Amino acid sequence: MPVDHRTRQPLGYLHGGASVALAETVASVGAFQLIDREKEICFGLEINANHLRPKRDGKVTAEGTVIHRGRTTQVWEVKIKDENNHLICISRCTIAVVKKEQERK
């Protein structure tokens, strides 16, 4: 994700909300790959983030790892790093796995 005018807060640093949005996107896409897409859907349930290092420009990348893969929830750890592999943010995201409407009947 670029760190530029679209993702900076008013003081010129990467906005924490942008980092959290990136983390939840990574966790959600990962979770989607692990469910039965014919019968289930997934939603973000809870997220937290620790912003560890400021970032003014360049780009950041995120990598997610599933920590728990249960029947109704998944827990993901997402690490956001800069071009020099410095850890910018670490996040934990809980994803709800829900049966689709037609499967509940």
Q: Which residues form the catalytic set?
A: 24
List the structure tokens of 62.
Answer: 């995120």
Q: Which residue has the tokens 């980092």?
A: 19
Q: Which residues contact 67 (CB under 8 A, 6 or more apart)?
A: 75, 76, 77, 92
List the structure tokens of 40.
Answer: 């289930």
What number of other Cβ atoms are within 10 A of residue 55's Cβ? Answer: 23
Identify whether the C-beta of residue 82 lies closer than 8 Å to the C-beta of residue 59: yes
